[in-house]
Amino acid sequence: MKKELQEKLYNRYPELFSQKDLSIKQSSMPFGIETGDGWYNIINSVCCLLQHYVKNSRSDRARNLIWNRRLKQAIDGNTANLYRFFNNSIGYTEEKANEEVEKQIKNKNFRKVEKPVPQIQFTQIKEKYGTLRLYTNHVDDYIDGVVAMAEIMSGCTCEVCGVPGKLTGGGWYQTLCRRCAKQQQIPYDEKKEDDDE
């Protein structure tokens, strides 16, 4: 990937790309983003989703801790904070807020406090067998899903220019559009493209 596009991602998502400054013995990120420019938008979307996921997990945890503290205070007899929460909410009258406080105390609706997702960092981003590969320091079901989606999208996006493409080549695979394949003098199976549609 061109240095200016790479730098754009590094500057926009410094937490995700913090391993770029490590030695090559510690991470493969010092080699940079080893893909064509055409996958920039896919990688940018992945970065946005992953960083949002980390921030949301921290916000959810903080909100749930505050809620549990208010509910515990209400159960212990101090309903002021829990009442204020409902009274300031849209659509709650004073009477409805009081009813909701009583309901929450009765049901003891404590919220589950999950561990926050640790800061995700890329350890390597490259092309392999014609599709995108993204490796991170932390993996869970959500991250796996985002990475799998990106890898699938890369298989139908030209890695050179970013327009729709397909996997081409025999011994060396690339995902290219018709124009980029022609420029690189790589056979582009027009018939197969028609069959895919």
> Measured between alpha carbons, how far is 12 from 132 in angstroms, rounded to an integer?
20
What does the pLDDT read at residue 79?
92
What digits encode the pLDDT tens for the residues 93-147?
888 988 999 999 999 999 999 999 999 999 999 999 999 999 999 999 999 999 9
Q: What is the mean pLDDT of the chain?
A: 92
3-class SS at 115? coil
Residue in 149, 127, 167, 146 with CA at minimum distance from that of residue 31: 127
What digits encode the pLDDT tens for the residues 8-35?
999 999 999 999 999 999 999 999 999 9
Q: Answer whether residue 190 shows pLDDT above 70.
A: no
What digits encode the pLDDT tens for the residues 53-75?
999 999 999 999 999 999 999 99
Q: Answer whether residue 185 shows pLDDT above 80.
A: yes
- Decide the pairing of beta strands 131-136 and 166-168: unpaired
What does the pLDDT read at residue 169?
80
Q: Answer whether residue 165 shows pLDDT above 60.
A: yes
Segments in 76-168 forming alpha helices (H) = 80-87, 94-107, 141-154
Cα dihedral 85, 88, 91, 94 in deg (nearest 10): 80
Give whole-number Cα distances, 166 to 44, 62, 124, 157, 195, in Å.
21, 45, 23, 7, 12
The token pair at 174 is: 């690339």
pLDDT band for position 191 (cuts 50, 70, 90): low
What does the pLDDT read at residue 87?
83
Which amino acid, one-letter code, is at 62? A
pTM, rounded to two decimals: 0.83
What digits encode the pLDDT tens for the residues 38-57?
999 999 999 999 999 999 99
What does the pLDDT read at residue 91?
81
> Measured between alpha carbons, how far is 14 from 111 in angstroms, rounded to an integer?
32
